Structure 1
Amino acid sequence: MTASVALRAGAGKAVVELPSSLFPVDGFTAVHDPLRVRVLLLDDSTTRVCVTVIEQTSIFEHQVARTKEILHQVCAVDPAHALVVASHTFSAPHIHPPGHAPEGEEVRNTRLSNAVDDAVARAAADAVRTLRPARTGFGLGACRVNVQRDVRTSHGWWLGADDNGRTDDSVGVLRIDGTDGTDGTDGTDGTDGTDAPPIAVLVNHAVQSSVMNGSFTRSGDREITADLAGATATRVEQHYGDGTVALFLVGAAGDQAPYLTAVRTTVDENGQLRRSDAQEAGHTLVDLLGERLATEAVRIAEHTRTTEPTTPLRVVHDNVEVPAQLPPAGGLHALRPTTRYDFTPDGTTEAPVVVARIGDVVLACLQAELNARTGLDLKAASPFPATCVVTMVNGAAKYMADAGSYDRITYEAMNSRYARDAAETVAARLGELLRELRPEPIAVTRDRHRSSSP
């Protein structure tokens, strides 16, 4: 019999406190619902790993370094073993590097930065305080809250909703329970399950949290919201109670939009973009989609058996050399649907990747936003059936589109510093790293896993 690993786990969460005196900041004038920081701390007596999700659009390098330093101080985690993940809500202010804030906002930018740092420290302290013996389990299901956002128009490919497009609707759930005589199941699989809530529930799904992206209220306010990722995590936590922390890990969502959004953009006969906004009513869409995804996450968690892991925690880093291209002339706001575009090579660049093993689950992580095709291919090639592809990790690097995106001239291909074949190169290297971890036989709950890939 394979010996188990003495895993311990703790989790914490904290609201980012944003006083009214902070506003306006980075274009936002009010708060609709609070942003949060969530921290999962894992310890196997040899290695400590920390997964931190911050409800921001993206996290710049300077903030990643600062967050890792806080985690090192509070959780005694080696910075190399800290995964700092943006939830990718589009309705949150950026924390700009010192000296790069919009004109007149340097002081407010610093206050915003300090508020997030404070939330990280409080959530990390709770993770340390709740650290206790733990078990892990993984389950797979599916939920269609996302849709392929690349659509063909008479003027070229643009952003919209294509029900027949490639979509990854799989939902991966990592459940972590305490080992106080419970196994974290509901007994439906023949175990003696109890109602004890999990320590943490990690939800991995390929969808951008952009329901409210670009939306304004009737009075002209642009409100902060944790959007779909936050609504999902909060509903999972409400189901289990205060003792559970839910972390949303955004998957390969570069071309995966929420099925419903507050702002609708269409392309007219002249190739011009037309915009309509549901305004305050858009938050009903957030609630609807968040409830739907959270319900599926809870259902998966309830049918997932947790066991004591038999492999130690592992975190492996690498930098992959990939082809680069120049950014779009005139910036992303100048982009329009087109059938001709000059993809201009710009040498090579490095794409950092991370692979983390937690029990029988592996997280294949990178900064860049992959398209669904690449995420599906990566999971299909992985020797681990329990594989989560996680983007927006340890920084932000915009889109890394699949080769077909360059053929179609999509928004993701144009709005990228990475050139054609970068995604395929990175996926190949991640596959090598996964195989090097030499997985043992893994039991995964598979009750309704499917993906749409015409």
Structure 2
Amino acid sequence: MNSSASGNLRVGVAKVDITPEDLTNLNPLGGSFIGVHDPIHLRALVLDDGAHEVALMSADLIEAGDMTPVRERIERELGIPFDHIVITATHTHSAPRIGLVSPGALAHGGPPESDTYTAWVYDRMIGALKEARASSQPARFGLGKGTADVNVNRDEYIAGKWAMGVNPDGPSDKTVWVLRFETLTGDPIAVLLNYAVHSTVVLGTEEVSADLAGAATAYVERHLGGGVVALWTLGPVGDQSPRVALGKLRGATDDERVFAYEAMAAQGLMVGAEAVRVAGGIRELTSTVRIGAAERVLACPMKEGVDVMEDMIQEKVDAVDLRLGLVTINEVALAGVSGEVVTDIYRRLQRESPLANTLLISIANDRIGYLADDQSYARNTFEVNGCPIVQGYAETGIVDGLVGMIRGTLR
């Protein structure tokens, strides 16, 4: 664990367009996108307390695979330590993927065009971090939280088995976490928001889109103004769907497209408006911070996927790496996990964490698949079938690992 005595906070941000010009074979669900509905972006946030610098990046992509190569490049070229870098995807299913699939992971693979796109995005990441550093200025930050009833549990018992559906009685975290970063005179610089929902509202249109997450961040940026950058991070998203979605993999009609984008805008507005409300109500902000960062990699016994999508070709290995990343800002913990964590694991983490303000970031620095709680294995839910880790290792590894890492910041 790397932490330091308190220092004065400096914050820098950047936002760059990562919309591909050539859409050939970049649809992670197979084939090519037929067009671009709205652009996709990479957003970067650099925090510095005078002793430690951390970089947080959020990209409008379905997933970011193993980010080791680009994190090593960032450390080499910019001097930001490897374990001080968190790269996450908003998980819009209407955008490409980047990065390699880790051995044993259950993730969407990509053709050569995906590798070319990945290399281009990596260059954009370096550029964004340089831009963010150049814009760095004295700042203060504060935390707030609200709620939005946009997500719903998707594990429904249908015709004698568990399937993907709508289960309003299932576990669902409605919290909208908001970190506000502003100048010393009160002008907003950045908002980091955290919410648990799949951006699958317009899946089936076969058009590039930032989907629900993009609609929410665009709303925040538009309403706060002043060049503010809003970063979307995923909470415990593994078992959470949007309440309203097109519900198709491909082949949407014109009328269905109209419906999908209306639903995207409406639900994005709900989360974005709540984030704006919460950000505006944060009264306790400080420029005196202590930043900490750490990473832990757990080798967990691999479980083969069951009834997963055809493009998820899982490499057979003895163990799959589960990455845990942590960034702390005073008494706030941003706890990253390299998969889609389900709600009950996060609830346990919240109960056991020594910091009440513990936010979970799914798909942090890799995406190895769904990460299901131990109790759900007996139900063979969608998340269990898509989990690459044997029962008894994911939940305990995540909770015990992150709690231990957080405790390390308090020494």
TM (norm. structure 1) is 0.79
Report the CA distance between 1:124 and its aligned residue.
Answer: 2.0
Helix, strand or coil at the partner of 1:332: coil
2:86 corresponds to which residue? 83
2:214 aligned residue (230, 233, 247): 230
Determine whether 1:156 maps to 2:157.
no
1:374-431 Cα shifts (integer Å, max 9, x gaps): 1122122222121111110111110110122211110110112112122321212212
Helix, strand or coil at the partner of 1:298: helix
Report the CA distance between 1:78 and its aligned residue.
Answer: 1.9
Q: Tell me the distance in 2 between the aligned counterparts of 1:22 and 1:350.
A: 31
Q: Tell me the distance in 1 between the aligned counterparts of 2:354 and 2:211.
A: 34
**Any conservation in 2 of the 1:145–1:289 contact (CA below 8 Å)?**
yes
Identity level (%): 29
After TM superposition, list the pairs within 5 Å mapping 1:49-448 onto structure 2: 49-61=54-66, 63-66=67-70, 69-70=73-74, 73=77, 75-95=78-98, 97=100, 106=112, 108-180=113-185, 182=186, 196=187, 198-213=188-203, 215-216=204-205, 222-263=206-247, 278-328=256-306, 331-333=308-310, 348-425=319-396, 426-438=398-410
Distance 1:44 1:149, change over 3 A: same
**Any conservation in 2 of the 1:148–1:257 contact (CA below 8 Å)?**
yes
Q: Tell me the distance in 1 between the aligned counterparts of 2:283 and 2:126.
A: 31
Report the CA distance between 1:244 and its aligned residue.
Answer: 0.7
**Any conservation in 2 of the 1:13–1:122 contact (CA below 8 Å)?**
no
1:25 corresponds to which residue? 26
Mean Cα deviation higher: 309-318 or 112-121: 112-121
Mean Cα deviation higher: 7-16 or 317-326: 317-326
Q: Tell me the distance in 1 between the aligned counterparts of 2:62 and 2:230.
A: 18
Letter in 2 for 1:25: L
Q: Tell me the distance in 1 between the aligned counterparts of 2:235 and 2:367.
A: 14
Q: Tell me the distance in 2 between the aligned counterparts of 1:302 and 1:199.
A: 13
1:8 corresponds to which residue? 10
Question: Please, which runs of 5 or more residues in structure 2 have no aligned partner?
Answer: 102-107
1:116-141 Cα shifts (integer Å, max 9, x gaps): 23432342233112101111111111
Helix, strand or coil at the partner of 2:98: coil
Report the CA distance between 1:6 and its aligned residue.
Answer: 1.1
1:321-352 Cα shifts (integer Å, max 9, x gaps): 43431223x743599xxxxxxxxx98554312
Report the CA distance between 1:69 and its aligned residue.
Answer: 1.8
Q: Tell me the distance in 2 between the aligned counterparts of 1:151 and 1:54.
A: 30
Distance 1:134 1:428, change over 3 A: same
1:16-55 Cα shifts (integer Å, max 9, x gaps): 1422x44353322211111100000011111110001111
Helix, strand or coil at the partner of 1:290: helix
Distance 1:72 1:280, change over 3 A: farther
TM (norm. structure 2) is 0.87
Report the CA distance between 1:261 and its aligned residue.
Answer: 0.8
1:144-187 Cα shifts (integer Å, max 9, x gaps): 1100000001130000111111110011111111123x3xxxxx
Q: Tell me the distance in 2 between the aligned counterparts of 1:22 and 1:165.
A: 38
Q: Tell me the distance in 1 between the aligned counterparts of 2:391 and 2:81.
A: 35
Report the CA distance between 1:368 and its aligned residue.
Answer: 1.5
